[in-house]
């Protein structure tokens, strides 16, 4: 597709970390099938590092590529580092996104942050 | 890798005979048809001949054909030109909910100019009920515009029945026949329309040439002012090669219409049967029988249109979709929402429109490649 970069096409065709984690430590779901995008992120946290991440996505090429690259960027990072991953950085990592697809990079980082917040909420409940 | 072009509603591949007919008008016969000297002779003759051929295809008189640059221009011209010319009689216009944007947005502009527009709803198949047309018409109604067939869902409208009502009420009827002319039989007398739009690039002619049929006696204000081309109705030096191409395409269509139609209907019905059998959670959109011959439009649940198009493209298959992600405006197709599809289902839309030269092997190739694509995307989807 002419509007997408090579990197986006790569991640679209071979997305990393697709799947579900049954006993996830945190789950984040954002988007809305009504708008045409839905992303669910599952994380496992070891100490304060994201040790595992899996995602499922309903959406366009950009949505799938964003989910894949966000998952790559987040695994192995601390929760604080992961919370700092922004949509601009994601778009840059992907070699740029067409203007009307920037909202997809927003969604990806939101799903990650939701998963982290879900984990933190669960942790504080335990205490 | 096999290349399959199943996006003929976007544009069709020009026939070789059309290209051959056009060529001389780029080279030797490059003159302006309006020139008095000898260089204008052949171009003028060619434009006149093309006009006759287009008129013949739709059962009109040559003087009732006005060449435009596209189907979109023809639609703009019809809506704005007819409304303006008849504004003393009234300022109410009726269109369907599923018109092409060139009609839809022209109507919106007319609203800004002080006209009132009623949008007729359609049923689950996209059909307009002639009775609704009757209900919508008021004393101040001057124009009804309902497209002959819809490019997204393939449904063919009951224009003939609608025309009986508009004639009775003394209201003009226009139809956007861009998807039908050259693909199914279209006769303006039989349809009963006062105006009709068509476009060359929809039936194996070139881009850059369309036409508006305006029945003799119907008043229409020009959209494009200038010189006296097209009987003073549409100024601008004629795009001679494209017009010649349009004429040739019309001539060929006249000869090949029935065989094209039969071939495409067979392919279409085979394609639909196999799709519905082999893919779960899938639905045909548009009317199952009253539809364009080569048109297959479906919605596939739990996955999204653009990602399907991307995978199909990687396999050399060209198709289209009504999903929000495939539109610049990020809105799901107004046609799909008008037929009652919830947004999340509309996003899984896929439209295949086949052309005259396509074969069963092409369809089989798509049938081979699509199911694994669907499975792959469903495995990734939180909704499945």
Question: Can you spell out the DSSP letters for B51-81?
Answer: HHHHHHHHT--GGGEEEESSHHHHHHIIIII
Tell me which chain B residue has its CA closest to the CA of residue A15.
B380
| pLDDT tens-digit map of B97-140 | 999 999 999 999 999 999 999 999 999 999 999 999 999 999 99
Instruction: Please indicate whether, in this complex, the C-beta atoms of B304 and A34 are within 8 angstroms of each other.
Output: no
Alpha helices (H) in chain B, listed in sequence order: 16-22, 41-58, 71-76, 82-85, 101-112, 130-136, 159-169, 188-191, 240-278, 305-314, 334-338, 343-346, 360-380
Closest CA to B215 of B244, B172, B177: B172
Q: Are B253 and B203 in contact (CB under 8 A)?
A: yes
Best mutation target, A15, A30, A58, A111, to test chain B (most B CBs within 10 A): A58
Show which residues of A are catalytic: 35, 104
Instruction: Please indicate whether, in this complex, the C-beta atoms of B310 and A61 are within 8 angstroms of each other.
Output: yes
Residue count of chain B, please give it.
384
Closest CA to B177 of B152, B208, B146: B146
Instruction: Please indicate whether, in this complex, the C-beta atoms of A13 and B314 are within 8 angstroms of each other.
Output: yes
- The rounded Cα B110 to chain-centroid distance in angstroms is 21
Q: What confidence tier does B357 reach under pLDDT thresholds 50, 70, 90?
A: very high
| pLDDT tens-digit map of B153-174 | 999 999 999 999 999 999 999 9
- Chain A CB contacts of B324 below 8 Å: 35-36
Q: What is the pLDDT of residue B148?
A: 98
- Is the confidence metric ipTM above 0.85 for this complex? yes
Q: Which residue has tokens 């052949």?
A: B42
Whole-angstrom distance, CA of residue B90 vs CA of residue B108 = 17
> Dihedral, CA atoms, B346, B314, B155, B176, nearest 10 degrees?
110
Chain-wide mean pLDDT for chain A?
92
| Residues on A contacting B at a C-beta cutoff of 8 Å | 1, 4, 12-13, 15, 18, 29, 33-40, 56-64, 100, 103
Chain B residues 104-163 with a CB less than 8 Å from chain A: none
Instruction: Please indicate whether, in this complex, the C-beta atoms of B307 and A35 are within 8 angstroms of each other.
Output: no
- Work out the minimum CA distance from A124 to partner chain B, whole angstroms: 27
Tell me which chain A residue has its CA closest to the CA of residue B306.
A60
| pLDDT tens-digit map of A67-94 | 999 999 999 999 999 999 998 999 999 9
Tell me which chain A residue has its CA closest to the CA of residue B326.
A60
| Six-digit token string for A113 | 């942050």
> How many other β-carbons are positioned within 10 Å of the β-carbon of residue A1?
15
Whole-angstrom distance, CA of residue B260 vs CA of residue B271 = 16
pLDDT above 90 covers a percentage of chain B that reads: 96
Q: Annotate B160-178 with b (16+ C-beta within 10 A) or e (fewer).
A: eebbebbeeeebbbbbbbb
- Chain A CB contacts of B330 below 8 Å: 35-36, 100, 103
> Which residues have CB under 8 Å from B209's CB, separation 6+?
B67, B68, B69, B70, B199, B200, B201, B239, B242, B243, B245, B246
- Work out the minimum CA distance from A30 to partner chain B, whole angstroms: 11
Assess whether pLDDT exceeds 80 at residue A33. Answer: no
> Which residues have CB under 8 Å from B42's CB, separation 6+?
B24, B28, B29, B31
Tell me which chain B residue has its CA closest to the CA of residue A101.
B325
Question: Can you spell out the DSSP letters for B314-374?
Answer: HTTEE-B---GGGSTT----HHHHHTT--HHHHTTEEEEE--TT--HHHHHHHHHHHHHHH
| Six-digit token string for B72 | 């979109």
Closest CA to A31 of A110, A84, A121, A119: A110
Q: What is the pLDDT of residue B145?
A: 98
Closest CA to A94 of A16, A20, A38: A16
Whole-angstrom distance, CA of residue B93 vs CA of residue B305 = 34
Whole-angstrom distance, CA of residue B145 vs CA of residue B138 = 15
Residue A72 backbone phi and psi in degrees, to 5:
-65, -45
- Chain A CB contacts of B342 below 8 Å: 34
Strand (E) or helix (H) holding A41: strand A37-46
Mark residue B66 as left, alpha or beta (left: phi above 0; alpha: psi -120 to 50; beta: remaining). beta
Assess whether pLDDT exceeds 90 at residue B25. Answer: yes
Chain B residues 252-311 with a CB less than 8 Å from chain A: 302-307, 309-310
Whether B371 sits among the annotated catalytic residues: the reply is: no
Q: Measured between CB atoms, which of A1, A56, A62 is closest to B382?
A: A56
Tell me which chain B residue has its CA closest to the CA of residue A65.
B307
Residue A79 backbone phi and psi in degrees, to 5:
-60, -40
Q: Are A93 and A7 in contact (CB under 8 A)?
A: yes
Assess whether pLDDT exceeds 90 at residue A2. Answer: no
Q: Which of B276, B310, B314, B325 is catalytic?
A: B325
- The partner residues of B93 in beta bridges, in order of sequence, read B117, B143
- The partner residues of B295 in beta bridges, in order of sequence, read B353
Assess whether pLDDT exceeds 80 at residue B222. Answer: yes
Q: What is the pLDDT of residue A125?
A: 86
Q: What confidence tier does B332 reach under pLDDT thresholds 50, 70, 90?
A: confident
Tell me which chain B residue has its CA closest to the CA of residue A57.
B381
Q: Are B142 and B91 in contact (CB under 8 A)?
A: yes
Chain B residues 334-353 with a CB less than 8 Å from chain A: 342-344, 347
Mean local confidence (pLDDT), B344-360: 96
List the helix and strand counts (H, then E) for chain A: 5, 3
Instruction: Please indicate whether, in this complex, the C-beta atoms of B382 and A58 are within 8 angstroms of each other.
Output: yes
Assess whether pLDDT exceeds 90 at residue B344. Answer: no
Report, in angstroms and rounded to the nearest whole number, the Rg of chain A calculated over CA atoms.
Answer: 14
- The partner residues of B116 in beta bridges, in order of sequence, read B92
- Work out the minimum CA distance from B209 to partner chain A, whole angstroms: 27
Instruction: Please indicate whether, in this complex, the C-beta atoms of A40 and B382 are within 8 angstroms of each other.
Output: yes
């Amino acid at each position: 597709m002419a509007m997408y970069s090579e990197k986006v096409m790569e991640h679209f065709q071979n997305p990393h970390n697709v799947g579900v984690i049954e006993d996830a430590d945190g789950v984040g779901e954002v988007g809305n099938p009504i708008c045409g995008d839905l992303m669910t992120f599952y994380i496992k946290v070891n100490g304060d590092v994201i040790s595992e991440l899996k995602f499922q996505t309903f959406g366009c090429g950009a949505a799938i590529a964003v989910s894949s690259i966000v998952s790559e960027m987040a695994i192995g990072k601390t929760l604080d580092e992961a919370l700092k991953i922004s949509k601009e950085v994601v778009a840059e990592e992907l070699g740029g996104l067409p203007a009307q697809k920037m909202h997809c990079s927003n969604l990806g980082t939101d799903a990650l942050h939701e998963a982290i917040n879900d984990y933190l909420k669960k942790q504080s409940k335990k205490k | 890798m096999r290349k399959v072009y199943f996006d003929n509603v976007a544009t069709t591949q020009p026939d070789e005979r059309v290209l051959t007919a056009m060529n001389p008008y780029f080279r030797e016969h490059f003159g302006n048809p309006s020139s008095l000297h000898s260089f204008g002779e052949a171009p003028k003759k060619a434009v006149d001949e093309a006009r006759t051929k287009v008129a013949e295809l739709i059962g009109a008189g040559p003087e009732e054909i006005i060449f435009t640059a596209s189907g979109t221009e023809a639609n703009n011209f019809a809506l704005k030109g007819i409304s303006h010319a008849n504004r003393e009689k009234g300022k109410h216009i009726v269109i369907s909910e599923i018109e092409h944007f060139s009609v839809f947005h022209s109507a919106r502009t007319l609203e800004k100019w002080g006209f009132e527009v009623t949008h007729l709803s359609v049923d689950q198949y996209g059909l307009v009920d002639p009775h609704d047309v009757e209900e919508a018409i008021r004393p101040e109604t001057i124009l009804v515009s309902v497209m002959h067939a819809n490019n997204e869902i393939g449904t063919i409208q009951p224009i003939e029945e609608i025309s009986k009502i508009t004639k009775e009420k003394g209201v003009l009827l226009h139809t956007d026949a861009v998807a039908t002319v050259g693909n199914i039989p279209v006769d303006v007398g039989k349809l009963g329309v006062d105006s009709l739009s068509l476009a060359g690039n929809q039936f194996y002619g070139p881009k850059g040439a369309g036409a508006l049929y305006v029945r003799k006696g119907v008043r229409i204000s020009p959209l494009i002012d200038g010189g006296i081309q097209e009987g003073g109705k549409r100024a601008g030096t004629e795009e001679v090669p494209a017009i010649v191409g349009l004429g040739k395409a019309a001539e060929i269509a006249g000869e090949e219409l029935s065989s094209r139609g039969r071939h495409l209907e067979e392919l279409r019905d085979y394609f639909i049967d196999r799709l519905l059998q082999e893919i779960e959670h899938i639905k045909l959109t548009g009317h199952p029988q009253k539809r364009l011959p080569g048109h297959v439009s479906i919605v596939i649940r739990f996955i999204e249109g653009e990602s399907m198009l991307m995978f199909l493209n990687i396999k050399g298959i060209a198709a289209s979709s009504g999903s929000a992600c495939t539109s610049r405006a990020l809105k799901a197709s107004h046609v799909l929402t008008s037929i009652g599809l919830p947004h999340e289902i509309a996003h899984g839309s896929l439209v295949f429109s086949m052309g005259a030269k396509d074969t069963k092997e092409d369809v089989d190739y798509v049938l081979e490649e699509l199911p694994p694509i669907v499975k792959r995307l469903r495995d990734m989807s939180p909704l499945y």
